[in-house]
C-alpha cells in the first residue's frame, strides 16, 4: 500500500508517519518507484503499537523509540520490558538522595526474594522490577509499617501469579504468546501485552480500591465480611487433609 492508504488505515496523519520514518520508529517501506515506497502489514502493526504507547501508555517519544528499537532486535530484544520500565518509573516524590544506599540494599533483597518464587525464571530477571518494588517498600516502611519485611510480600506474589493465570485464561481467543521455537513475530503480541498490562492494571487497581472500601464499611458497621473464594477453598482443602490452615 502507498503512504496515503497506510495513513488512512492506521488512523495516523501522513506527516506523523513521515516523522516516525525519519526518527527510525518505523522501518522504511520497500522502494516501488522513484521517491515512492510500498508499505505492508508490519507497518500497520508498528503504527498500532506506537499509537498504543503514545495514547494509552502515555509514553514520551524517547521512551517509544527505546521500545521500537528493542522490537527491531526481534527475539533478542526486550520491547515489553522497555515499555514497562518507561511506564513505571521510580517515584519522584518521597525518596531522598540519602535513601540511595538503603534503596540499593533493599533492591538486592527484593531481587533475591523474586528469584526464590516458584514462577520466576533466571532469564527474566529484567522483569522482576525489583527496583520499583524496593522503592515502594521503602516508602511503606517510612509512612505505614516500619517493620514490613520483604518476605511479607509472599502472599502478594502468590496472588499476582493467580491473577496472571486468570488473565491469560480469560483472554478472548487465548493469550497468543509468541513461541521462540517457531520464530513467531513479536510485534503484535508486544502491542497486546502492553495494552493488556496498562488497561487491566487500571481495572484491577480500581477494583482493589473498591474492595478495600467495601471491607472497611462492613467492618466499621458490624456487617458480615464475606470470605474470598480462593481463601475458603484453600482452608477447606487444608481441613480435608487434616492440616490446620495458617492464620494470616
Residue-wise pLDDT for 189-217, tens only, equals 888 888 888 889 999 999 999 999 999 99
In a domain, 131, yes or no: yes
In a domain, 43, yes or no: no
**Total domains, the chain:** 1
In a domain, 44, yes or no: no
In a domain, 84, yes or no: no
Distance CA(198)–CA(86), nearest Å, equals 12
Query: Would you call 17 exposed, middle or buried from its count of C-beta atoms within 10 A (0-12, 13-18, 19+)?
Result: buried
DSSP state of 31: E
Grid coordinates representing 162? 493467580
Q: What is the pTM of this model?
A: 0.78
Q: Are 78 and 61 in contact (CB under 8 A)?
A: no
Answer yes or no: is pLDDT of 232 > 60. no
In a domain, 96, yes or no: yes
Residues 6+ apart with CB under 8 A from 133: 110, 153
Cβ-count burial 136-157 (b if 16+ within 10 Å, e if not): ebbeeeeeeeeeeebeebeeeb
Grid coordinates representing 67? 521500545
Query: Given this model, what pLDDT does residue 92 score?
Result: 59
In a domain, 157, yes or no: yes
Grid coordinates representing 140? 511503606
pLDDT tens sequence across 155-201? 999 999 999 999 889 988 887 888 888 888 887 888 888 888 888 99
Host domain of residue 100: 90-170
Other beta carbons within 10 angstroms of residue 25's beta carbon come to 22
In a domain, 133, yes or no: yes
In a domain, 62, yes or no: no
Amino acid at each position: 500500500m502507498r503512504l496515503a492508504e497506510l495513513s488512512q488505515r492506521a488512523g495516523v496523519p501522513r506527516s506523523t508517519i513521515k516523522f516516525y520514518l525519519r526518527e527510525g520508529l518505523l522501518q522504511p517501506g520497500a522502494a516501488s518507484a522513484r521517491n515512492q515506497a510500498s508499505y505492508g502489514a508490519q507497518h500497520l502493526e508498528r503504527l498500532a503499537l506506537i499509537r498504543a504507547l503514545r495514547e494509552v501508555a502515555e509514553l514520551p517519544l524517547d521512551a517509544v523509540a527505546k521500545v521500537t528499537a528493542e522490537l527491531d532486535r526481534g527475539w533478542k530484544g526486550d520491547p515489553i520490558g522497555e515499555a514497562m520500565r518507561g511506564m513505571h518509573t521510580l517515584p519522584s516524590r518521597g525518596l531522598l538522595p540519602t535513601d540511595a544506599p538503603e534503596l540499593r540494599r533493599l533492591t538486592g533483597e527484593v531481587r533475591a526474594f523474586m528469584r526464590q518464587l516458584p514462577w520466576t525464571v533466571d532469564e527474566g530477571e529484567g522483569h522482576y522490577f525489583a527496583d520499583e518494588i524496593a522503592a515502594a517498600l521503602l516508602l511503606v516502611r517510612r509512612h505505614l509499617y516500619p517493620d514490613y519485611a520483604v518476605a511479607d510480600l509472599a502472599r502478594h506474589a502468590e496472588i499476582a501469579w493467580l491473577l496472571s493465570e486468570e488473565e491469560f485464561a480469560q483472554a478472548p481467543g487465548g493469550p497468543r504468546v509468541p513461541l521462540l521455537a517457531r520464530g513467531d513475530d513479536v510485534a503484535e503480541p508486544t502491542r497486546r501485552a502492553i495494552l493488556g498490562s496498562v488497561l487491566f492494571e487500571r481495572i484491577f487497581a480500581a477494583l482493589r480500591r473498591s474492595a478495600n472500601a467495601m471491607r472497611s464499611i462492613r467492618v466499621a458497621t458490624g456487617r458480615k465480611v464475606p470470605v474470598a473464594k480462593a481463601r475458603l477453598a484453600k482452608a477447606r482443602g487444608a481441613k480435608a487433609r487434616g492440616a490446620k490452615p495458617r492464620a494470616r
